[in-house]
Amino acid sequence: MRLANDINLGYCTNIHRGETWEETFQGLSRYTDEVRKCVSSDRPYGVGLRLSSSAALQVSSSSEEKIQFQKWLETTNSYLFTINGFPYGTFHGSRVKEQVYVPDWRTSERLDYTNLLFDLLAEMAPEGEEISVSTLPGSFKEFITEEGESQDLAVMRKNLIACSDHIERLREKTGRDIHLGLEPEPLGYFETSSETVSFFDRVCEGMSSEEKERFLRNIGVNYDTCHLALEYEEPAGAISNLVNAGIRISKVHLSSALRLKPTDEAVERLSKFDDEVYLHQVIVSNGSEITHRFRDLPDAVEWYDENRMNAGEEWRVHFHIPIHSRPESCFSDTRDHITGLLSLLSEKPGICRHFEMETYTWEVLPEDLRSTDVVEQLVAEYDWCLGEFRRFGLA
């Protein structure tokens, strides 16, 4: 939906299963339209779409599927403005973990997929609508070796420049503002705001001022509030680091992480959040110092069993929890990063115009954190978000 200052707000449909176009469209018809009726029945409704590679290929090659989708958008008074292009393949129901990074930006498959998403958006979003795609932070840290990093970076650079060139051609053809957002996250090739700045500096090295200006107009950052909070960053510092480096904030993912003080009770309860589908990185701090990083929940729980007396002051866990409600008593959350960011943007609302709620963990949430059904949860998240946007004069 459109808010003040040309802001668009939606929720990411990666919360629903949808590896084929049929499954994707079923989710839109069954869930997204029900959410729309509850939160935006009297005005145009913005859709934050997730399309797998196979679904994107299917809909792009079928005029029948395109017409079906366009009719649905018209009938429901909905419009496209962004696509989550991070998960390329299967994202629900089976092991995803580090495979969510495959293929990465070292491959032509990732480039072709991302360009296809832009082509679909340019064709199906309203004329003149600003459009964005979000994607992974280059690669997964564990995929990159010290010996091969220089070559890997060179290939990522080449592919990202090729994507920027594709965006530029679409800009000239359509007159739209079009941009890609690379999404820092724990264990990504870059995960903090400083690592993100370093990555962009290396990619832009050797460019002329004109080439760099064009690249940074087309390629920016998808700022996930869960991910930056996990790194113990504050919005003012993180945004300042990015903006001062000339990096565009392409889109903001509104999401919240689990937060806890490591006690026997809390860690025992935390172990119940483990699942076989997603990685749940854990970052441990003592005051202002990050002391340990764990690849997944079981690693952190096992370490705690051997280090109870020196397990840090706080743990933050990469598990997207509903943003509208507080978790149970032995946990907290990182919603303060969302409100801190909105407070900052209220003073500089032009920094970003695309916002997307992203609590994709519906299927693996412990039952006591789940709403009665997914539509109810999404409506509650909209209510909370819109309340915060209004509080900061952004709606």
Q: How does residue 10 score in pLDDT terms, banded at 50, 70 and 90?
A: very high
Per-residue tokens: 223: 């700022």
Q: Please determine, for residue 145, whether its predicted confidence score (pLDDT) is greater than 90.
A: yes
254 and 323 Cβ atoms separated by less than 8 Å: yes
pLDDT digits (tens, 9 = 90+) for 148-190: 999 999 999 999 999 999 999 999 999 999 999 999 999 999 9
Give the dihedral sign, CA 96/98/104/109: negative
Share of the chain above pLDDT 90, in %: 95
Query: According to the model, what pLDDT value does residue 328 have?
Result: 77
Query: According to the model, what pLDDT value does residue 236 have?
Result: 97
pLDDT digits (tens, 9 = 90+) for 146-157: 999 999 999 999
pLDDT digits (tens, 9 = 90+) for 298-319: 999 999 999 999 999 999 999 9
Q: What is the largest CA-CA distance in the chain?
A: 63
Instruction: Please compute the mean of the pLDDT values over residues 247-257 and round it to a whole number.
Output: 98
Query: According to the model, what pLDDT value does residue 156 have?
Result: 98
Query: According to the model, what pLDDT value does residue 329 have?
Result: 79
Residue 272 has a CB neighbour count (10 Å cut-off) of 10
Query: According to the model, what pLDDT value does residue 288 have?
Result: 86
207 and 255 Cβ atoms separated by less than 8 Å: no
- Which domains are delineated in the chain? 4-255+334-391 (3.20.20.150)
Query: According to the model, what pLDDT value does residue 370 have?
Result: 78
Query: According to the model, what pLDDT value does residue 178 have?
Result: 98
* pTM greater than 0.85 (yes/no): yes
- Kindly report which listed range (120-134, 218-232, 332-346, 359-373) carries the lowest average pLDDT score: 359-373
Pick from 227, 188, 187: nearest CA to 334: 227
